[in-house]
Structure 1
């Protein structure tokens, strides 16, 4: 309980991830080639923050977390297209700084838990050259400001937890590797879920999960996509405006229902 303050530093290292490695091959339409001079990504990650926790009463508690991070990267691995050719090479795109912060609050009262958070991150490319990306493809592409809210209620007599979750992103105007701007529309997605996990009796160890995700059948594409552009809207759906950038949009799933059963012994 009380106020805590922390600071951290880490040295990071990253080579091509599995997805990138799989794509380094020949296909019917695009030739991917390796680069013998490709250096791994490296960088320094700094973070400072504070956490405050207090017990308001026997049945109430509050926690607040605030943090700021500054990540400096070298030798970003990106895809680079050659003019007049369908060949794509992996190259080092130079240096970049990713910085931002997060604020999160959680309030508990009896069997009800409420939490909310806000986070923001922005990327600044230090080397303005053709290797910083091309056609909307970057090593890092900023997302709009992110907002979350979660509510959970535990129904103790029947060993059941029910919850509601919403994640929302602000719209943002981002830049591709050549400096051209394109827009990422904002969106919000809601989920509801329930878990039944008996704490005693002959069904102890059993867990049943059920959820409805993207509850309101929102049509959207994730801001985490590094490239996006014009693409036909999924059949029967009303789609938001698409950004004017090369590439294709990978639409996220519409309303979907999931259920699972597990047993531990």
Structure 2
């Protein structure tokens, strides 16, 4: 069992406020960890507790965004349940694997993929709210979803962007619909990761739930704006977050 970790009380409201911003960004374009993780890593918490606690708050925020997008009619829980089940299994495997393997190789590969996401978002004519003819059926997309989910459980940064762009590029969904379904797959992935991390005692539930309340507030606002303004809001923020994550990861090589 891990030794208990304590924080000064002022950290709780401060990190909850940061989680509001993180929840907003994550609900619209994914990548809320770009906001949350550097702040969490600056606290006295050990890195493994940071990862687990961040997953708890992320699970709360993505739950709110998922509910809001579902209420807006952007996806069906029942129709997407088989893909969500595959995503859950993939994230579970990834979260278990990171306990024993190094993620160093991903620090090199992921920035390249994120730059590709940003370029695709800017240049592709398919990144609109119009549905297109997909290259893959839902069943055909399952291995792709499982791969992104494994990555999310194993490493994480950019998973939301990878879900969204593959749903647009491979499934043919409009960008707002893809963002809504992304949140459903994200929350499924987060739940799997939270199970693994908390089983090992690698999360502060009190802090995670406080931050989760902030993330839910931000996610409510973000999903409202995304459903109201669609690709006009999502597309530029997706580019900004992808580039920001790339810079953050490259900076980590030298830090």
TM > 0.5 fold call: no
Instruction: Please give the TM-score of this superposition, normalised by the length of structure 2.
Output: 0.23
Higher relative contact order (CA 8 A, sep 6+): 2
Higher strand share: 1
Instruction: Please give the TM-score of this superposition, normalised by the length of structure 1.
Output: 0.22
* Higher gyration radius (CA): 1
